[in-house]
């Protein structure tokens, strides 16, 4: 069932269950299972609908604001009148305030889970991997707008980051940082060059996987080292540095020059150049340019597992 239909069903079921409970003579809002379930549905249903029409961060902020107002009204009423102001579903919303606030603090400022959507970071990350993203590593940021409030650090070469996809900020991507502000990055058929130094590659055998379209793919595997980070990359034999037609159609051409021989970019201030580890199957900076600092969501620290089964459970990637 889709998110919209689930939210709609819960929103409709909540009042219906409360009305049915009332007809049965149930009045104890705390101990009546039917009333409790009805009030819970009446709260959670609209929340799901809000997530559907907006985003999860926006829905969390609205939930925190509404439950906070109800909690404040209850607190003031108990201080002045000796009893709570809310009842019914509003009381359940008030009771949920501290929990919602805790979720918001952790989600916006500490850590957040993401699910890897594609094969672009193979062999390091596979489709369906659940990764933990450190939200504190690149600064405390204003929720939803993602504007930095307190700087705590910047991405370094070799780190894996999650960021808002520049052409569509509603989508989150994960890639590896190749170039930081001021770097000159060159990408061609033979590999990557940073500030005139070729990124060393050591052959590490072959690698096979099933593509996102469901086709078997065979690629050469290499060990690379960038800064203090060692990782593995993939390249399919015979494929060029990028799909030049797609680059010409998509790339904003800001600070980059490209042709059949390759691409060379100078990374501007406040921006980063990122590439997927699966070089022949990744929509990355080669196609759409740089990642602005305002789009950073956090650093990938660990893989918890995979949505289709256990994989690298508890593996730290720092």
Catalytic site positions: 120, 175
Strand 271-275, strand 172-179: pairing = antiparallel
Closest CA to 219 of 201, 200, 205: 205
Report the distance separating Cα 90 and Cα 84, nearest Å. Answer: 11
φ, ψ dihedrals at 299, nearest 5°:
-100, 135
β-sheet with 216-226: strand ranges across: 201-210, 216-226, 229-235
248 Cα distance to chain centroid: 28
Length of the chain as a residue count: 318
Closest CA to 288 of 245, 246, 240, 257: 246
Q: How many C-beta atoms lie closer than 10 Å to residue 318's C-beta?
A: 12
Exposed, middle or buried, 181 (CB in 10 Å: 0-12/13-18/19+)?
middle
Tokens for 111, please give them.
């850590």
φ, ψ dihedrals at 105, nearest 5°:
-60, -45
β-sheet with 256-259: strand ranges across: 197-198, 191-194, 184-188, 262-266, 256-259
Q: Is 125 helix (H, G, I), strand (E, B) or coil?
A: coil
């Amino acid at each position: 069932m889709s998110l919209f239909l689930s939210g709609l069903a819960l929103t409709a079921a909540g009042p219906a269950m409360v009305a049915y409970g009332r007809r049965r003579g149930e009045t104890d809002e705390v101990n009546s299972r039917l009333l409790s379930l009805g009030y819970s549905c009446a709260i959670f249903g609209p929340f799901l609908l809000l997530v559907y029409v907006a985003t999860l961060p926006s829905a969390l902020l609205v939930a925190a604001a509404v439950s906070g107002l109800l909690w404040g009204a209850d607190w003031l009423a108990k201080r002045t009148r000796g009893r709570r102001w809310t009842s019914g579903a509003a009381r359940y919303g008030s009771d949920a305030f501290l929990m919602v606030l805790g979720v918001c603090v952790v989600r916006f400022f500490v850590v957040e889970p993401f699910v890897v959507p594609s094969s672009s970071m193979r062999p390091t990350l596979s489709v369906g991997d659940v990764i933990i993203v450190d939200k504190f590593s690149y600064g405390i940021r204003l929720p939803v707008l993602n504007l930095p409030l307190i700087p705590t650090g910047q991405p370094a070469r070799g780190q894996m980051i999650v960021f808002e996809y520049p052409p569509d900020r509603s989508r989150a991507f994960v890639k590896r940082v190749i170039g930081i502000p001021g770097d000159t990055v060159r990408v061609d058929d033979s590999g990557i060059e940073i500030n005139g130094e070729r990124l060393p590659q050591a052959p590490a055998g072959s690698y096979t996987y099933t593509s996102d379209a469901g086709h078997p793919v065979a690629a050469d595997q290499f060990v690379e080292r960038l800064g203090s980070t060692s990782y593995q990359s993939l390249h399919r034999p015979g494929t060029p540095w990028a799909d030049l037609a797609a680059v010409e159609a998509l790339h904003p051409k800001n600070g980059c020059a490209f042709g059949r021989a390759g691409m060379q970019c100078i990374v501007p201030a406040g921006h980063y150049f990122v590439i997927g580890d699966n070089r022949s199957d990744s929509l990355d900076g080669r196609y759409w340019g740089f990642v602005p600092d305002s789009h950073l969501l956090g650093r990938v620290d660990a893989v918890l597992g995979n949505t289709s089964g256990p994989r690298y459970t508890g593996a730290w990637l720092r």
